[in-house]
Chains A and B, each alone.
Chain A
């Protein structure tokens, strides 16, 4: 596959800061894919985006877009000359222009009118050409911002926290919409988000960042089911962390609360002491389950039943597990439950 964007060892330190906002980041983005830079605030995701856009200049490393070097030791292509479309967090629509003028802004081709119509159709806003942008709803404003970014057929579309200003229902719709539109335009999309749900729903690939460093990169499923460190496990969804020893055959991990199955035998060795992450979704109620405990607290949150289970370890100590059960189950405080664990939600985690 063709590479749309490549970062090689990018480092950026802001003036007056001691710690680098982005530290030695390398990343390849396939053409036509959608990736999300995910992390808490201050993790360097926005800086990475601004570096790609050309609003910030890296102090070392190289950035290439579409195979052409944009930033390097001796190269610097300014923001307006990069073929990049950007969707800002607050959309940054020009308030003195209407929808059509906003979308056509900066478009130099002779087919301006047709192109504006084309992208308007893509974002389902035909008929809104002459509306003022402050008369639009949040979702419509975002569509206009996206259309404006797409109009020039850029190599890459950058989206800065695209869903943070929308309410929950609209958020879900716009996640699907943005994905549909980007795919239809065959554009490469890079999103920045602190919301794991956004990231899981929209991305082909997720890049989890913390402290200016990439923690893990992979498909949403891989990131969720097999986080490779404690930070990723805790940031993307919730997780039960525990230590264990790899049993002979490498299919089981022996822990304080019992045996846990594991698929990642290729990265562990017999007798090794490792840390594992167990997603709360990995537990199923089963009569013959090896793990048993009493219901400490539980709450019904609609999509599932969230329960804290108090388990007695082999050393006769109490430990507590977070478990998601099917919302159909009825449980009471104090009930003794038995669980089976699915290996698909067990991940070996580096310390």
Chain B
């Protein structure tokens, strides 16, 4: 007969997994997870208990308007970036467009331009002082929608392109052997199979639009993020919390959609009999298509880069690279490097536990550390202000709070990267090392860490780049006179001092080239 453990013990062990995790690693993981999640949870908590009077007042007036603005913008941007992303992905993977290999690479490039920098470039052109100022009102709904669309469509493009590449050719042939022509195969086989990827890409765009502050505020549009920012600027933190809670609910809603879509992505079986997909001959339609692709590349890459280079050149000629500029650069590097380095240290314990001791408990730890992921920087900043103002005032007012905000926002990037490289090391390696008589910590330091070092560093680098670009939390949390490059771009551009904004923007763009390689590898 099988002896069973007492009920209570069994419950705990099923919660913690079969093998009890290493205690020290567990404690560190719990601390990191709490550290990552408490500010966010606190904002939610404060929002719920903000008082019914405030809630009613906001629900009556601002919230409906903001919902309309935010959801309207999200819908329009998601729609257009999906249409552009999906059609371009199909064009460069499945049609015989000349130069499609180069195009499929160039069309991803807009991701190196953070949307607020992109917004600056189009303000430089269509703004009141720009050469084409009278052609198009950039400070408008269509202006914001345009800028966000052209800098977010690559998310859809990347995801759909990779799905198209992995598509099982046999499925298309099965469709044809069952009597469908080219169009039929596309509509009834390809499109349904692509739906999860299109959905995933659209969700990435939606999450981005919900969280964007820089481009939206620069183009003087009003959504939840900018409203929260201005409420905090006016020291009305209670209203800011309420708005934050609504925005958190919106974001969680989108994430819930993502989880539902994600469950269906198991469509792409590893196909042993893999053959390259057929490239469709679209005849003379190739040439107009090339025209469209060149137009997109021009609008998303060549024009923004050209404008930035032009103004940087003017700026440098006028002495923009003075001592203060190098000071901003040092500030940026200081907080971003610290965030990148710490993210590697913080990511490892949780990632290791989750991989080697999978259980409900480690899943919860991982989920908690993802709290700040996809949430707007303004909300993270709000949580940090609440907590540090009240409980650790020493740190509040030092640049260290910025590092904490970066960690909360970007640690998941580091976790994803290191977890991907840890999953490549089979647990049998750990067991072999243990079996050869090495204690737990020695196995970690002598075997696991050296093996996953590339992934760990890649994660740190991603966090570093994201931190260099980060705007809203930095704006809200920076101590007096602590400006980063991103902050300078925002401030100078708001005051229309373009030649001072451009060199800082250029550096941010150059730094942003780094993660493109990771994105291309991932998709």
Q: Which residue of B lies closest to A107 (CB)?
A: B178
Known: A55-B173, A79-B176, A134-B266. A96 touches B192 (CB 8 A): yes
Q: Is A170 an interface residue (CB 8 A)?
A: no
Interface centre among B170, B192, B264, B267 (most CB of A within 10 A): B170
Known: A80-B179, A152-B179. A88 touches B174 (CB 8 A): yes
Mask, A73-113, CB within 8 Å of B = 1, is: 00000111110111011101011110000000111100000
Residues of chain B within 8 A of A78, CB atoms compared: 176, 181
B430 CB to closest chain A CB, in angstroms?
Answer: 31
Q: Which residue of A lies closest to B170 (CB)?
A: A92
> Contact partner of B180 among A80, A82, A95, CB < 8 A?
A80
Q: Is B171 an interface residue (CB 8 A)?
A: yes
Q: How far is the CA of A269 from the CA of B170 in the complex (A)?
A: 52
Flag if B178 contacts A90 (CB, 8 Å): no
Flag if A90 contacts B173 (CB, 8 Å): no
Residues of chain A within 8 A of B271, CB atoms compared: 90
Interface size on A, residues (CB 8 A): 27
Q: Is A45 an interface residue (CB 8 A)?
A: no
A97 CB to closest chain B CB, in angstroms?
Answer: 8
Q: Is B273 an interface residue (CB 8 A)?
A: yes
Residues of chain B within 8 A of A86, CB atoms compared: 173-174, 177
Known: A53-B173, A55-B173. A148 touches B178 (CB 8 A): yes
> Contact partner of A89 among B177, B181, B189, B273, CB < 8 A?
B273
A203 CB to closest chain B CB, in angstroms?
Answer: 22
Q: Which residue of A lies closest to B195 (CB)?
A: A96
Q: Which residue of B lies closest to A97 (CB)?
A: B192
Interface centre among B188, B272, B273 (most CB of A within 10 A): B273
Residues of chain B within 8 A of A82, CB atoms compared: 177
Flag if B177 contacts A85 (CB, 8 Å): yes
Q: Majority SS of interface residues in chain A?
A: loop
Q: Which residue of B lies closest to A85 (CB)?
A: B177
Q: How far is the CA of A107 from the CA of B170 in the complex (A)?
A: 19
Q: Is B168 an interface residue (CB 8 A)?
A: yes
Which residues 107-133 in A have Cβ within 8 Å of B in the complex?
Answer: 107-108
Flag if B177 contacts A79 (CB, 8 Å): yes
Q: Which residue of A lies closest to B271 (CB)?
A: A90
Q: Which residue of A lies closest to B196 (CB)?
A: A96
Q: How far is the CA of A95 from the CA of B180 in the complex (A)?
A: 17
Residues of chain B within 8 A of A108, CB atoms compared: 179
Flag if B266 contacts A89 (CB, 8 Å): no
Interface centre among A53, A80, A89, A97 (most CB of B within 10 A): A80
Q: How far is the CA of A149 from the CA of B273 in the complex (A)?
A: 20
B190 CB to closest chain A CB, in angstroms?
Answer: 11
Residues of chain B within 8 A of A106, CB atoms compared: 175, 178-180
Flag if A53 contacts B267 (CB, 8 Å): no
> Contact partner of A88 among B173, B180, B188, B195, CB < 8 A?
B173
Mask, B158-173, CB within 8 Å of A = 1, is: 0000000000101101
Which residues 127-171 in A have Cβ within 8 Å of B in the complex?
Answer: 134, 148-149, 152
> Contact partner of B170 among A89, A97, A148, CB < 8 A?
A89
Q: How far is the CA of A94 from the CA of B176 in the complex (A)?
A: 13
Flag if B178 contacts A92 (CB, 8 Å): no
Residues of chain A within 8 A of B266, CB atoms compared: 95, 134
B436 CB to closest chain A CB, in angstroms?
Answer: 35
Flag if B171 contacts A94 (CB, 8 Å): yes
> Contact partner of A80 among B168, B176, B269, CB < 8 A?
B176
Residues of chain A within 8 A of B189, CB atoms compared: 94
Flag if A80 contacts B181 (CB, 8 Å): yes
Q: How far is the CA of A80 from the CA of B267 in the complex (A)?
A: 24
Q: How far is the CA of A84 from the CA of B177 in the complex (A)?
A: 6
B179 CB to closest chain A CB, in angstroms?
Answer: 4
Q: How far is the CA of A105 from the CA of B269 in the complex (A)?
A: 20
Q: List 30 A-B contacts (CB under 8 A).
A: A54-B176, A78-B181, A79-B173, A80-B181, A82-B177, A84-B177, A85-B177, A86-B173, A86-B177, A88-B170, A88-B174, A89-B273, A90-B273, A92-B170, A92-B173, A92-B174, A94-B171, A94-B192, A94-B193, A95-B193, A95-B267, A96-B192, A96-B195, A105-B188, A106-B175, A106-B178, A106-B180, A107-B178, A148-B178, A149-B177
Of all A-B residue pairs in the complex, the 6 with the closest CB atoms, nearest first, are A106-B178, A92-B170, A92-B174, A86-B177, A79-B176, A88-B170
